[in-house]
Amino acid sequence: MSRIEFNDLFDACKGKGFIVASRLVDIRNQAERIANQANDKQIANGEFAVMFAENIKDWMNDLASVADNALASHIESHNAQE
């Protein structure tokens, strides 16, 4: 399945469904930004910073994945109801 972006929500969701979907996109995007920052710190700093940043990067990527899967399920169920 392709990555769902914010603009895709306008056609996929209406009303309260749009609010939930847009929040999931926000969660995913913020988690990805934190993961990217952790990755940058991992590259730039010492051994302990690398271990710490690697954990943060993995957690945030996991969180982004969960939000992305929830978003896909939400859109799919919303479309099934129409």
pLDDT digits (tens, 9 = 90+) for 9-34: 777 776 777 777 888 888 888 888 88
Q: How many domains does the structure of the chain reveal?
A: 1
Asked whether residue 10 is domain-assigned, the answer is: no
Contact 24, 74 (CB under 8 A): yes
Q: 34 is written with which tokens?
A: 């934190």
Asked whether residue 3 is domain-assigned, the answer is: no
Among the listed residues 52, 57, 75, the one whose alpha carbon sits nearest the alpha carbon of residue 3? 75
Asked whether residue 31 is domain-assigned, the answer is: yes
Asked whether residue 73 is domain-assigned, the answer is: yes
At residue 40, the pLDDT reads 77
- Residue 42 banded pLDDT, cuts 50, 70, 90: low
For residues 36 and 42, the model is more confident at 36
Asked whether residue 63 is domain-assigned, the answer is: yes
At residue 1, the pLDDT reads 55
- The range of the structural domain enclosing residue 76 comes to 15-81
DSSP 2: P
